[in-house]
């Protein structure tokens, strides 16, 4: 796609901190446009609340590829459809927002395929097929109309543009020289959003004040008087603007009760088309840039397993399906682990370097021995023999644009202490049962520990790691080695993924750091 200029359109409904950060990084990518008819190929869709999910489907309806910006949002249809087939996903932190330009490296063939996949998916959910009985396109969103609005000239208008247009339109129709002013009805969240945009309008409409059922005495808001709604004389105004975009029918009924059937009512929903067609407003920030790079989605894994074959017999069959290549590092005398690795197709690295030099178990040396068997041309996940990964985790991870400078980690949940094999058998049938596990140790999840450390070998902080020796080799036990490794990254480059992994409980923390000491998994446990 490098032979043209392509642009991002911002689909967002407020000026939140996230939207401002998105714009900051977007504007670092290139120029500004809002002409989706001719130039825009991508839509930025920050997900702040569930209602914002509709922007993704709006982008598909308009025939552009959505860029979903969220750390944790899970879509209703995500379990039955691969969103990465028609969209990009970027985390909401600065280290990942810096990747906004990456999508512009997409080849034309890949882009066209995403568009086609998006249209297929859109038609399914719009027509209520077997995916869901819910029709998103007839749903009302609290506080949101059909944003972003596309005007007759195919220009995207954000909430900012619409509110400024409406206020300017009212200023022309009801100037300060008019005989009777407008009364605003409702002093809630909508009015705060409105005034956040229109404070600097040069010629505002003639406003009497604000009526609200919730106030007991006169108050002040944005230099306007807020009156108890039943204390305003009908003779002081002819027109009421319903200050809401979500409960108009309720305020309309209340207005007629208070002020009679002859009062003129203005509704935001009806003013949108009039105001946006008559008022010329500079569109909100939208972005563009060309680029040229490749984004590999290869995942290699590595685990050190010496004396842990009973754990590995449960975790390896499940975990190996996640990886393009998986290395099991074990000792020369651990025959059971070697047999498991061969049985399930893992690459076997045999080494006894964990012993010697007064070390009881030098895990750093074992890990580095395993790295020699990896290709190291994609992402690498270091995990433990007693950790289970859930099905589909690779797809979910790679549905998000990953920053090669970041270290990613996950939340760890512990299995029940008793009847572990019974629980594990159930997990194999339905890994969703892990969602019922108790999250009991927040401290163990506060940073990227060794049970889940996902990184790219090209990260600049690893440049000094010669001969694939990524982990420190100066610790005589398995403790501390993972902590020192994650300290290579600055804190802003350590990213928690919205993923959980399952740790097979086996005793107190550190019980096996000097070699296997915990009891074997048995049916009685």
pLDDT in tens, the chain (525 residues): 443 444 677 777 666 788 888 878 877 775 545 555 555 678 888 888 777 888 888 888 888 888 999 888 888 777 777 888 899 999 988 888 888 877 777 778 888 888 888 888 888 776 544 434 444 444 333 333 444 455 555 455 666 777 888 888 898 889 888 778 999 999 887 888 788 777 667 678 999 999 999 898 999 888 889 999 999 998 899 899 999 877 888 899 999 999 999 999 999 878 877 776 666 555 443 333 232 334 457 999 999 999 889 999 999 999 999 999 999 999 999 999 999 999 999 999 999 888 877 777 889 999 999 999 999 999 999 999 999 999 889 988 888 889 999 999 998 888 877 777 888 888 888 877 887 776 655 555 667 888 999 999 999 999 888 777 889 888 877 778 888 899 999 888 999 888 889 888 776 565 666 667 666 676 444
Of 120, 154, 188, at which residue does a domain stop? 154
Residue 513: inside a domain: no
Residue 482: inside a domain: yes
CATH of the domain at 338: 3.90.550.10
Tell me the residue range of the domain where 163 lies. 158-278
Tell me: do 214 and 236 sit in the same domain.
yes
Per-residue confidence (pLDDT) for residue 317, from 0 to 100: 94
What's the farthest any 2 CA atoms get from each other in the chain?
A: 96
Tell me: do 193 and 224 sit in the same domain.
yes
Per-residue confidence (pLDDT) for residue 248, from 0 to 100: 84
Tell me: do 399 and 491 sit in the same domain.
yes
Tell me: do 432 and 491 sit in the same domain.
yes
Tell me: do 179 and 252 sit in the same domain.
yes
Per-residue confidence (pLDDT) for residue 510, from 0 to 100: 59
Of 278, 310, 339, at which residue does a domain stop? 278
Of 137, 154, 171, at which residue does a domain stop? 154
CATH of the domain at 260: 3.40.50.720
Q: How many whole angstroms separate alpha carbon 16 and alpha carbon 13?
A: 9
Tell me: do 308 and 450 sit in the same domain.
yes
Tell me: do 100 and 50 sit in the same domain.
yes
Q: At what angle do helices 159-173 and 268-278 cross, to 10 degrees?
A: 90
Say whether 114 sits in a helix, a strand or coil: helix
The count of domains in the chain is: 3
Q: Which residues contact 476 (CB under 8 A, 6 or more apart)?
A: 357, 358, 359, 360, 361, 362
Per-residue confidence (pLDDT) for residue 373, from 0 to 100: 94
Tell me: do 141 and 230 sit in the same domain.
no
Per-residue confidence (pLDDT) for residue 18, from 0 to 100: 83
Tell me: do 70 and 170 sit in the same domain.
no
Pairing between strand 224-228 and 219-221?
antiparallel
Per-residue confidence (pLDDT) for residue 157, from 0 to 100: 60
CATH of the domain at 32: 3.40.50
Element (H, E) at 276: helix 268-278
Q: How many whole angstroms separate alpha carbon 117 and alpha carbon 187?
A: 44
Q: How many whole angstroms separate alpha carbon 376 and alpha carbon 372?
A: 9
Tell me: do 225 and 149 sit in the same domain.
no
Per-residue confidence (pLDDT) for residue 288, from 0 to 100: 31
Selection from 215, 216, 219, 232 nearest residue 180 by Cα: 232
Residue 517: inside a domain: no
Q: How many whole angstroms separate alpha carbon 380 and alpha carbon 135?
A: 40
Selection from 197, 187, 192 nearest residue 162 by Cα: 197
Tell me: do 104 and 175 sit in the same domain.
no
Q: Which residues contact 183 (CB under 8 A, 6 or more apart)?
A: 207, 208, 209, 210, 211, 232, 236, 237, 239, 240, 241
Residue 514: inside a domain: no
Tell me: do 165 and 240 sit in the same domain.
yes
Single pTM value for the model: 0.65
Per-residue confidence (pLDDT) for residue 130, from 0 to 100: 40
Residue 515: inside a domain: no
């Amino acid at each position: 796609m490098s032979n043209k200029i392509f642009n991002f359109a911002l689909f967002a409904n407020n000026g939140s901190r996230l939207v401002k950060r998105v714009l900051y990084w977007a504007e670092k990518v290139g120029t500004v446009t809002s002409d989706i008819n001719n130039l825009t190929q991508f839509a930025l869709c920050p997900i702040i609340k569930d209602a914002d999910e509709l922007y993704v489907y709006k982008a598909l309806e308009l025939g552009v590829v959505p860029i979903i910006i969220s750390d944790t949002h899970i879509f209703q249809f995500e379990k039955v459809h691969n969103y990465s087939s028609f969209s990009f996903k970027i985390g909401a932190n600065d280290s990942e927002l810096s990747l906004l330009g990456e999508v512009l490296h997409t080849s034309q063939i890949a882009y066209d395929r995403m568009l086609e996949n998006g249209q297929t998916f859109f038609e399914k959910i719009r027509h209520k097929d077997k995916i869901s009985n819910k029709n998103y396109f007839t749903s009302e969103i609290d506080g949101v109309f059909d944003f972003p609005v596309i005007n007759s000239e195919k220009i995207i208008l954000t909430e900012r543009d619409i509110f400024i247009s409406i206020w300017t339109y009212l200023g022309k129709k009801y100037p300060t020289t008019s005989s009777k002013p407008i009364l605003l009805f409702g002093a809630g969240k909508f009015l705060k959003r409105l005034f956040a945009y229109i404070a600097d309008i040069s010629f505002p409409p003639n406003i009497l004040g604000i009526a609200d059922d919730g106030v007991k005495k006169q108050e002040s808001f944005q230099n306007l008087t807020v009156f108890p709604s039943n204390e305003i004389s009908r003779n002081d105004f002819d027109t009421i603007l319903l200050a809401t975009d979500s409960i108009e029918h309720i305020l309309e009924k209340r207005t007629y009760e208070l002020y009679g059937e002859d009062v003129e009512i203005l509704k935001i929903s009806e003013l949108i088309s009039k105001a946006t067609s008559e008022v010329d407003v500079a569109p909100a920030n939208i972005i563009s840039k060309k680029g040229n790079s490749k984004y590999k989605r290869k995942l290699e894994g590595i685990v050190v397993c010496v004396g842990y074959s009973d754990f590995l017999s449960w975790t390896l069959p499940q975990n190996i399906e996640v990886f393009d290549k998986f290395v099991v590092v074990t000792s020369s005398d651990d025959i059971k682990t070697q047999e498991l690795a061969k049985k399930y197709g893992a690459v076997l690295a045999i080494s006894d370097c964990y012993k010697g030099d007064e070390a009881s178990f030098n895990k750093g040396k074992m890990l580095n021995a395993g790295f020699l068997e990896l290709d190291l041309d994609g992402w690498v996940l270091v995990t433990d023999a007693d950790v289970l990964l859930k099905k589909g985790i690779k797809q979910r991870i790679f549905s998000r644009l990953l920053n090669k400078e970041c270290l990613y980690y996950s939340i760890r949940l512990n299995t029940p202490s008793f009847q572990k094999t019974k629980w594990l058998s159930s997990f194999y049938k339905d890994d969703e049962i892990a969602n019922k596990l108790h999250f009991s140790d927040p401290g163990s999840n506060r940073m990227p520990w060794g049970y889940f450390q996902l990184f790219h070998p090209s990260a600049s902080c690893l440049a000094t790691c010669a001969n694939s020796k990524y982990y420190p080799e100066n610790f005589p036990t398995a403790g501390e080695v993972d902590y020192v490794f994650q300290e290579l990254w600055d804190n802003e480059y350590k990213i928690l993924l919205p993923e959980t992994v399952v740790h097979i409980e086996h005793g107190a923390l550190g019980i096996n750091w000097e070699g296997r000491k915990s009891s074997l998994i048995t049916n009685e446990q």
